[in-house]
Structure 1
């Protein structure tokens, strides 16, 4: 039997039983749409995290206190107080691979203005912090080195804080109080949105690092050092030099482990990509189970179809059709059902992805390779689960088939 005739026969059989054919394809439609959309959600999450990490700045290196082993136990980054402003100054003066260096001190408090109040994070930073983070101002002016030396009571407001404290008013030059200490608003930061951890980067107040240390935290220890490498090609050299300089600053002996840890954006990106990649694979695998279920549905309906068309099979064999012709006829019908279900599933996937992005704001990225894989898998499912009913049809005895009522 010619392939063209086989497809024509299969199409006629599907059209004769439209509702049953649609219900048969339903499992494949749901399976393909699920696989494509689940992977699209995972890929969307990956892209979003990568964008959020990139928004932190470029060529950035982060140094955290802690990381050394104590009593055979790894303390982890940030678990000990080991970094000071002296470390920051040493890196600024002696590092040949760093273009910008900033100390970071984290605090929090109730921010009060004449228009309202708001609980927010307060960060003490150097003027170079905004350059490292590639963070621009909406209005106002940045800190200066003189502000750092004099512990000036100036503040830069995140856009969310400015909105909460001043509404639509221009806050530049206005007075605010942080833990009852008066500050002058020097400027408002541009919006950055959420970071990779889901935190609102605009819900923040920046002040000179010396001001936060002397007036808010009451400590000489800083929480972090941020720096920009002059060139990404020198990332490894820069980290090795930072390690050497900080070990000198902390007077560590050769046998002593580092009491600080160094991380860069590339490492963060790699970890994020690995995590979202695993999540995407799991989501795709879970959704892929529905394709198997859809295949079982096709097999069941094809077995019913073979039983219903027993006399038709007997007549075809009686007029000369070979067992291989009968097998191909039902196998092609199964594959057509499965592939057509796959095609409709892809259309449904695109529709659902568009709806999720438009109405919910969920980031989705549909990958062409996923569509091709899901589409191909639906064809394989049609062959695999259609083979048993097709073989059953081809093995019928023509005389018994013609006698079937």
Structure 2
């Protein structure tokens, strides 16, 4: 242990003695490691985000999603996953439970039933909402109390209430809701925002365009087989059989395919960025050769005091590894910082994930470069004989 500590101490003193030269030598390693870590962190972030999105879509081992696809010529607004349909699905062998799955980014289809105006409506559920141009929105307290309040867009305010919507009542089906605000945030025409619990209490039968049923499976069940049985049973007895089709899509398999693509792209780009590490390794080899030439006297003195060729070789090899490790650690920190900066600048699009594998890769590659490109100069130093140096 003392011998190793002594070797490391001598190595660090040698590196610090030629700081400027060694810093320039490390730049290639720093850039290469930083590029690889940044790319892998962003690639892992993309993969994690995709995995979470697919998981929300039912791409987990113990759950499956049954989709209802309405036919193009159907005008029916029947709920394709009524309570009877859910019970039908739960009676299929292998199904532990079933429930309707909602997409929070998708609206629910409804009808305006005011006496002065009828038409289609897009209803969004929110726990609270305050992005209004006129009037005011609703709070989480309104949601908890199931208040019958809504905000509407300008189209509804103009068509139904002649721009005098605040305080008026909008009828959706058989239920009346008080308009407390006018907003233009919706991407669709005729948009209404409503407290979530109010919606669930008064309009539980409204459906989304892409209705989905999530089924939880019994342990050990074959997901694909059970899900196809549920889709077939609903196609025969489901409420929406005349308005569309029930289908099962294996999103888990799709997720695995996309994950493989992400991995392939990440590793390919990282490999391209890693070319700079090869160039940096040649720079390390060159610096170590210079160091060997400059320290001939040191080598001679150590040989005179009984140092073996292997001791000289290990000394220079350790110096090469330490030099590369310092550059690798700096590159690792810089790569994490760059990935975090990209994450902070584009939080809605890119997420970075630094894995333990990335850290081990940075340390491992740095060590490998030090060993591979430092071995030849170290071997050359070890072959120097005392008599040759004196001559």
Q: Same fold (TM over 0.5)?
A: yes
Which residue does 2:17 correspond to in 1?
16
Which residue does 2:95 correspond to in 1?
none
- TM-superposed CA distance for 1:8, in Å, is 1.7
Cα deviation 1:149-195 (Å, max 9, x = unaligned)? xx853332699xx999x6465594657559x99797969xxxxxxxx
The one of 200, 203, 211 equivalent to 2:187 is 203
Which residue does 2:146 correspond to in 1?
none
Which residue does 2:388 correspond to in 1?
400
2:32–2:277 Cα contact (<8 Å) kept? yes
Q: Does 1:156 align with 2:123?
A: yes
Which residue does 2:65 correspond to in 1?
61
Which segment is superposed worse, 277-286 or 168-177?
Answer: 168-177
- TM-superposed CA distance for 1:347, in Å, is 2.0
Q: How far apart in 2 are the matches of 1:144 and 1:86?
A: 12
- TM-superposed CA distance for 1:320, in Å, is 2.6
Q: Does 1:228 align with 2:199?
A: no
Q: How far apart in 2 are the matches of 1:12 and 1:384?
A: 22
Q: Does 1:381 align with 2:369?
A: yes
Cα deviation 1:239-283 (Å, max 9, x = unaligned)? 3231355389999xxxxxxx9853154344333333323333223
Following superposition of structure 1 onto structure 2, how do residues 88-107 of structure 1 map, counting pairs within 5 Å? Answer: 92=82, 96=87, 98=89
Which residue does 2:278 correspond to in 1?
292
The one of 326, 331, 334 equivalent to 1:340 is 326
CA 1:176–1:382: 2 relative to 1, 3 Å: same
- TM-superposed CA distance for 1:321, in Å, is 2.3
The one of 209, 222, 230 equivalent to 1:241 is 230
Q: How far apart in 2 are the matches of 1:245 and 1:360?
A: 43
Which residue does 1:133 correspond to in 2?
102
Question: 1:281 aligns to what SS in structure 2?
Answer: helix
Question: 1:396 aligns to what SS in structure 2?
Answer: coil
- TM-superposed CA distance for 1:44, in Å, is 1.0
Cα deviation 1:41-70 (Å, max 9, x = unaligned)? 0111122223334455795625476xxxxx
Alignment gaps of 5+ in structure 2: 91-98, 138-149, 162-169, 178-184, 193-207
2:41–2:352 Cα contact (<8 Å) kept? yes
Cα deviation 1:210-237 (Å, max 9, x = unaligned)? xxxxxxxxxxxxx975322342447541
1:295–1:381 Cα contact (<8 Å) kept? yes
Which residue does 1:119 correspond to in 2?
none
Cα deviation 1:76-132 (Å, max 9, x = unaligned)? xx9xx6895789777755564648xxxxxxxxxxxxxxxxxxxxxxxxxxxxx9x52
2:43–2:262 Cα contact (<8 Å) kept? yes
**TM-score, normalised to structure 2's length?**
0.64
Q: Does 1:316 align with 2:316?
A: no
Which residue does 2:261 correspond to in 1?
275
- How many residues are paired up? 316
- TM-superposed CA distance for 1:142, in Å, is 6.7
Q: How far apart in 2 are the matches of 1:89 and 1:12?
A: 77
- TM-superposed CA distance for 1:145, in Å, is 9.7
Q: Does 1:52 align with 2:53?
A: yes
Q: How far apart in 2 are the matches of 1:83 and 1:297?
A: 70
1:57–1:133 Cα contact (<8 Å) kept? no
CA 1:336–1:174: 2 relative to 1, 3 Å: closer
Q: How far apart in 1 are the matches of 2:29 and 2:151?
A: 63
Which residue does 2:30 correspond to in 1?
29
1:330–1:390 Cα contact (<8 Å) kept? yes
- TM-superposed CA distance for 1:318, in Å, is 3.4
2:34–2:331 Cα contact (<8 Å) kept? yes
CA 1:399–1:291: 2 relative to 1, 3 Å: same
2:66–2:212 Cα contact (<8 Å) kept? yes
Q: Does 1:351 align with 2:337?
A: yes
Q: How far apart in 2 are the matches of 1:89 and 1:142?
A: 11
Q: How far apart in 2 are the matches of 1:297 and 1:401?
A: 25
Q: How far apart in 2 are the matches of 1:203 and 1:89?
A: 24
2:102–2:212 Cα contact (<8 Å) kept? no
Which residue does 2:378 correspond to in 1?
390
Question: 2:211 aligns to what SS in structure 1?
Answer: strand
Alignment gaps of 5+ in structure 1: 66-77, 100-128, 188-200, 209-222, 252-258
- TM-superposed CA distance for 1:312, in Å, is 3.0
Q: How far apart in 2 are the matches of 1:85 and 1:338?
A: 69
Q: How far apart in 1 are the matches of 2:381 and 2:336?
A: 37
